[in-house]
Amino acid sequence: MAQPKSDFQPGATVGQYTITRRIGTGGMGEVYEALHVGLDKKFAIKTLRREHAEHETIVARFLREGQVASRIHHPNIVNVTDVGVIDGLPCLIMEYLEGEPLSAMFKREKLIPLNRLVDLMLPVIAAVHAAHKQGVIHRDLKPANIYLARNWTGDAEPKVLDFGISKLMQDPGEITKASSSFLGSPHYASPELARGDKNLDARSDQYAIGVMLYEGSCGVRPFAHRADSFMSLMYAITEADYLPLRHHRPELPAAFEATVLRAMAKHREDRFPSVHDLGRALLPFASARAKLLWEPVFGGAAVTDNEPTIREPQGVSFDPERPQITAPPRSFQPSQPSISGSFSVPPSIPTSIPDVTIAPKPESTWRDTVRVAATSLFAFLLGAGVAWGAAKLVAVSKHSDPTVFSPPEKGIEAAPVTSARP
């Protein structure tokens, strides 16, 4: 592949975008702030680094993962608006966010109030669950990939970044054999990821969420004391026990501690069946406002039908060369290329809407309207007449000897005549 020639320097125009500044850089790529020339709107552009852009397999998977991420429609997942190659470099075009990563808050505040921490993590859990239902595993969940974007009210709205991007490095034979090229962030790696298991599933993401809950509530990572070397940290994650949360913060509720420790269980079979169940267990510790907001999402029965069925091999030793096959989510048909060992990308989200037949309402005409009005008026006048007549009858009945006036004769002045008594 030819060497890419675009440098994406501030002030340069690439495609329809003018580069404003570089936002950040990582092991796989770089992120830039850019202005769309036609729309006069800010976007974020993520590109592969030059050395990775030379590998056709990495480029193909980078673009494919961007396409997958763009199909996960959730308000708490960064919106990917376009993918492609600009001036020779593969790019993801994403919505531009203003705010700070969750890692900055953790570093600044150390101990975060429990209800505030849960309020921030519930949207993250909902977003991750939405991705899992579409067969996508993040594999690199960490505070740096949770962006607290300022919304129009000024509140922090969590957004999950880099969905699926990290897993493009999961291919055997690619840059995955040295510890310096470890996939993801070691502190948030699940035991199965630390062991190098190839049949990872959604519960690996759940473990990472548990570590973030541990760190946010205790002010320290679970194995921070064992992080003097990469191998020491990997051993601790897979074999060692970590201190309970209330060792660091005794005032934490025991039920919250039990919830986090279950999400961080060494064996994935001991974790929650899905992150949806984890969110439901955390809901009681949220603020009153967040409970009202997330009760419809997590308050009901956990939706576990969309989670993959995990079948551990029995009586068979693990063979790293043997492909590991797990059942895809039951609500999808695996017609797209597999994203991971445990999931497949669905062509669409199936929906089922029951047929409901509603009898048509008879149409009224102007004649009907006039007829109803006339009937109502007649009934009103009739009732009023009857009432008036009854009143007069009662009044007349009170006089026992009434005076009778005879009508005057024509041409003669009439005089009053009283009734004769017998």
DSSP secondary structure of 304-361: -TTSPPP---SS----TTSPP--PPPTTS---SPBSSSS-B--SS----------PPP
Is 2 within 8 Å of 88 (Cβ atoms)? Answer: yes
Average pLDDT of 313-322?
Answer: 34
Instruction: Name the residue among 189, 99, 103 with its Cα closest to residue 138.
Output: 189
Average pLDDT of 10-21?
Answer: 90
Active site residue 171: no
The pairs formed by 303-308 with CB atoms below 8 angstroms and a separation of 24 or more are 303/133, 303/274, 303/276, 304/273, 304/274, 304/276, 304/277, 305/329, 305/330, 305/331, 306/132, 306/133, 306/274, 306/330, 306/331, 307/132, 307/202, 307/273, 307/274, 308/201, 308/202, 308/342, 308/343
Confidence grade of residue 312 (pLDDT, cut at 50, 70, 90)? very low
Is 245 within 8 Å of 260 (Cβ atoms)? Answer: yes
Tallying the residues shown for the chain, one arrives at 422
Is 263 within 8 Å of 206 (Cβ atoms)? Answer: yes
Average pLDDT of 247-273?
Answer: 97
> What is the overall mean pLDDT for the chain?
73
Average pLDDT of 261-269?
Answer: 96
Is 176 within 8 Å of 169 (Cβ atoms)? Answer: yes
**Which stretch of 72-81, 121-130, 285-294, 338-347 has the lowest confidence by average pLDDT?**
338-347
Average pLDDT of 410-422?
Answer: 40
pLDDT greater than 70 at residue 409: no
How confident is the model at residue 30, as a pLDDT?
87
pLDDT greater than 80 at residue 266: yes
Average pLDDT of 332-360?
Answer: 35
Of all residues in the chain, the percent with pLDDT exceeding 90 is 37
Q: In angstroms, rounded to a whole number, what is the distance separating the alpha carbons of residues 76 and 155?
A: 13
Confidence (pTM): 0.65
| DSSP conformational letter for 10 | T
Side-by-side strand order, sheet with 41-48:
13-14, 17-25, 29-36, 41-48, 89-95, 80-86
Q: Which two tokens stand for residue 72?
A: 């996960």
Q: Tell me the per-residue pLDDT of 63-108, one tens digit each, with 9 for 90 and over.
A: 877 777 777 889 999 988 888 888 788 889 999 999 999 999 999 9
Q: Which of 10-24, 206-220, 289-303, 378-392 has the highest mean pLDDT?
A: 206-220
How confident is the model at residue 375, as a pLDDT?
54
Q: In angstroms, rounded to a whole number, what is the distance separating the alpha carbons of residues 327 and 72?
A: 21
Tell me the HSE value of 294 on the side-chain side, using a 13 A CA sphere: 27
Is 61 within 8 Å of 168 (Cβ atoms)? Answer: yes
pLDDT greater than 70 at residue 138: yes
| β-strand pairing of 13-14 with 17-25 | antiparallel
Q: In angstroms, rounded to a whole number, what is the distance separating the alpha carbons of residues 191 and 413?
A: 126
Q: Which two tokens stand for residue 64?
A: 């494919």
How confident is the model at residue 84, as a pLDDT?
84
Is 334 within 8 Å of 134 (Cβ atoms)? Answer: no
How confident is the model at residue 152, as a pLDDT?
83
Residue among 7, 87, 119, 140 flagged as catalytic: 140
Q: Given the structure tokens 């009739």, which residue do they identify?
A: 382
The dihedrals phi and psi of 400, each to the nearest 5 degrees, come to -85, -25
User: What domains appear along the chain, each with residue ranges and CATH number?
Assistant: 1-96 (3.30.200.20), 98-308+327-348 (1.10.510.10)
How confident is the model at residue 184, as a pLDDT?
65
Average pLDDT of 1-22?
Answer: 76
Q: In angstroms, rounded to a whole number, what is the distance separating the alpha carbons of residues 267 and 109?
A: 31
pLDDT greater than 50 at residue 164: yes
Of all residues in the chain, the percent with pLDDT exceeding 70 is 64
Q: Which two tokens stand for residue 393?
A: 């009858």
pLDDT greater than 90 at residue 317: no
Residue 165's identity, in one-letter code, is I
pLDDT greater than 80 at residue 26: no
Q: Strand (E) positions, 132-236?
A: 146-150, 156-160
Q: Given the structure tokens 């519930």, which residue do they identify?
A: 122
Q: Which two tokens stand for residue 174?
A: 């690619």
Average pLDDT of 21-42?
Answer: 88
How confident is the model at residue 336, as a pLDDT?
36
